[in-house]
Structure 1
Amino acid sequence: MDISNLFDKSWQADDFNDDRLGRALEKLAKSDLPGIYHGIAFEALEKEGILLDQAHFDTTSLSLQGAYETAYSEEDSLRITFGHSKERRPDLKQLMFGLGSVQGFPIFADVMDGWKHIG
């Protein structure tokens, strides 16, 4: 991997170790990951000259088998629950995945609760 090209500096492979990677991952986990990704994505669109005049957004469901009987509270970030399954399996609980793209370039992605409003 061309480390100097990635970091715009002359770093050596020895400059990277498990401890540094762990600290960096901890900082990322505590940060605004969607905001960081969106910033990178929009900068890439601008650099490549891709106009943000049309975007495509879509969701899909992933059906899951199992009890998943956890008692949820308002603080829970993700609910595995029944919903309007795209696999036509109302008997199974699910999660939802969403993706937004511009000319095939992903600008938004999310994992969402399995519940989907119908109507």
Structure 2
Amino acid sequence: MMKKCPICDKTFREFEDIVEVEYKYYHEDCLEIVPIRYCAYNPNEDSEDSFIGQFDNDDKSWVSDMMDDGDFLEEKRFKVSFTNPLTASNPVESIDIFALDEDEAKERISSEYRQVLTVKLVN
């Protein structure tokens, strides 16, 4: 008896992409597939030593959510006002950004498209 996909009930064909899950076969296109594990590699290594390990989505977060105070640099919130010198009307825009100090906030926003006017600490 030929095997069928339990979702679409169609018999498998020779060159279809299938996935085995819990000892059952499914058409890959019949499934919603969510990546839950990632492999981490050190991009500075060029050998088999570059593999660091695996992690799940649950292992990703902000530093402040995963470490204790004092284990990381705390950033402050700054309001940076800027203009785009390449536009005719040159309107002033602003954005809130987190940085260690005013110079870093300015540096993060500055580009050929943004001329920083002011950087103010937000309390």
Identify the TM-score tier after normalising by the shorter chain.
Answer: under 0.3
Greater strand share, structure number: 2
Greater helix share, structure number: 1
| Greater relative CO (CA pairs within 8 A, separation 6+) | 1
TM-score (norm 1): 0.26
Name which one, 1 or 2, has greater alpha-carbon Rg.
2
